[in-house]
């Protein structure tokens, strides 16, 4: 009985002291495969990074309809990427993701991947949002 109790105590102690690992962050690596890359701020303000939509040397600020016009012009529609700026709550992020998924799959894009934005305009290496 004492042996059984001792073993039970050791097992309890071992599991109580074990640490859980934080979830692994998946980083995006498919920039070259993407047909469309959008840096989304609001419906009124987005940048299309691929294909680069510029006015002179600067990226053009596009409204949602203009972004969709660019998306329609892409012959290959396997992968679209939307980079999201930080939002206040998860519900807001989910609403934006749902909307853009519907819009882009409605245009024939097979995959839509959402990334968390960083301070730079780089795309590869950004965290993929689940």
Domain ranges for the chain, please list them: 23-116
Rounded to 5°, the CA angle 67-50-106 comes to 45
Q: Are strands 111-116 and 79-84 parallel, antiparallel or unpaired?
A: parallel
pTM over 0.85: no
Check if the beta carbon of residue 81 is closer than 8 Å to that of residue 28. Answer: yes
In a 3-state reduction of DSSP, which class is residue 110?
Answer: coil
Dig out the tokens for 40 from the structure: 């989304």
pLDDT, tens digit, 9 for 90 and up, residues 91-125: 888 999 999 999 999 999 999 999 999 888 899 99
pLDDT, tens digit, 9 for 90 and up, residues 49-108: 999 998 888 889 999 999 999 999 999 999 999 999 877 778 888 999 999 999 999 999
Q: What are residue 116's DSSP bridge partners?
A: 84
Closest CA to 49 of 118, 98, 122: 122
Q: What does the DSSP 8-state code read for residue 97?
A: H
């Amino acid at each position: 009985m004492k042996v059984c109790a001792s073993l039970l105590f050791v097992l309890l102690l071992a599991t109580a002291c074990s640490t859980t690992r934080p979830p692994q962050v998946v980083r995006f690596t498919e920039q070259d495969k993407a047909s469309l890359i959008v840096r989304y701020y609001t419906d009124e303000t987005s940048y299309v990074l691929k294909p680069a939509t510029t006015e002179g040397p600067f990226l053009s600020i596009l409204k949602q309809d203009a972004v969709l016009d660019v998306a329609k012009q892409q012959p290959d529609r396997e992968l679209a990427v939307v980079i999201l700026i930080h939002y206040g709550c998860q519900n807001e992020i989910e609403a934006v993701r749902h909307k853009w998924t519907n819009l882009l799959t409605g245009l024939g894009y097979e995959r839509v991947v959402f990334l968390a934005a960083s301070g730079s305009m780089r795309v590869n290496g950004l965290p993929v949002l689940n």
